[in-house]
Amino acid sequence: ACTLQNKNAALHPLWQSSSSVTGGTKQSPIDIQARSSVFDPKLKPLSICYDPTTCLQIWNNGYSFVVEFDDTTENSVVTGGPLNNNFRLKQFHFHWGAINDWGSEHTVDSKVFPAELHLVHWNSDLYKCFEEAIMEENGLAVIGVFLKLGTHHPELQSVIDLFPSIKYKDAVAAFTYFDPSTLMPSCPDYWTYDGSLTTPPLTESVTWIIKKKPIEVTQNQLAAFRSLFFTSIGEEEKKMVDNFRPLQPLMDRTVRSSFR
Ligand SMILES: COCCCN1C=C(N)c2cc(S(N)(=O)=O)sc2S1(=O)=O
Ligand SMILES: [Zn+2]
């Protein structure tokens, strides 16, 4: 079982109660040292199929903004790559910093990106529902995509345009047609390793698939992320920034790469 241990109160409020998980040997995020990753020729290409009509809503959950999908059918799924089962898309969300110098959860050769996208999927071959899969080994597959400063991202803008309606914690807005594969780089290369959720309950149930190539967004688009609040309406406003967990030890894990 996972119990939370408060080792370092100086941590960001979000994780004060869980700087590390007692006995956790497969925690996330980690620094991906490209040179130490091992090319695995047996890794298949990722097979990603998203149906834009499965998009349901966007809301502020007090950690991040989350776009949720209808996961009652097999219409939006990922398989292949390091995965031996079918995983249904449940939601995507982001992590970002107060300024562009930091914000991502994973790093590559200690390089930090200004933000990171997570697409969360659960194993519908082994488990009945998302809530069950979160707690189980091989329960989740999360695809991570780095964001870097560059050109305007039109498809991300259609998500950002909804932010005024979800500024505060627990605000929800309808969002009924969106294809999240438009937020992914065209390059198929990725790293993969076994890890955990980076927010409570921090369970070690995640196969991480981190895309090698970032997507580009503008300074203004990143600034829009910082217009959201951790707090509920009426509370003293706390800007939603720096919602990333600190790096965790690799311990006895190997990161595999799909590319040479
Ligand atoms: C009991 O329900 C717990 C809800 C857990 N979820 C909420 C998150 N913030 C979250 C973060 C995730 S991350 N940063 O590891 O991808 S996955 C995930 S999640 O599995 O969708
Ligand atoms: Zn995340």
Euclidean distance between the first and the last CA atom of the chain, given in angstroms as a whole number? 37
In this prediction, residue 3 has a pLDDT band, given cuts at 50, 70 and 90, of very low
Q: How far is the CA of 143 from the centre of ligand 2 (A)?
A: 9
Q: What is the pLDDT of residue 23?
A: 77
SS3 (DSSP) at 148? strand
pLDDT tens across 137-180, in order? 999 999 999 999 999 999 999 999 999 999 999 999 999 999 99
Among all bound ligands, the one having the nearest atom to the CA of 71 is: 1
Question: CB-side exposure of 28: number of CA atoms within 13 Å?
Answer: 28
Pocket of ligand 1 contains residue 136 by CB under 6 Å: no
Q: Three-state SS string across 177-194, please?
A: CCCHHHHCCCCCCEEEEE
Pocket of ligand 1 contains residue 120 by CB under 6 Å: yes
Pocket of ligand 1 contains residue 199 by CB under 6 Å: yes
pLDDT tens across 68-115, in order? 999 999 999 999 999 999 999 999 999 999 999 999 999 999 999 999
Pocket of ligand 1 contains residue 14 by CB under 6 Å: no
Among all bound ligands, the one having the nearest atom to the CA of 198 is: 1
Report pTM.
Answer: 0.94
**Is the ipTM above a cut-off of 0.90?**
yes
pLDDT tens across 170-229, in order? 999 999 999 999 999 999 999 999 999 999 999 999 999 999 999 999 999 999 999 999
**How many angstroms separate the CA atoms of 257 and 210, rounded?**
9
Q: Which helix (H) or strand (E) holds 223?
A: helix 219-225
In this prediction, residue 1 has a pLDDT band, given cuts at 50, 70 and 90, of very low
Torsion of CA 67, 68, 74, 75, to 10 degrees: -50
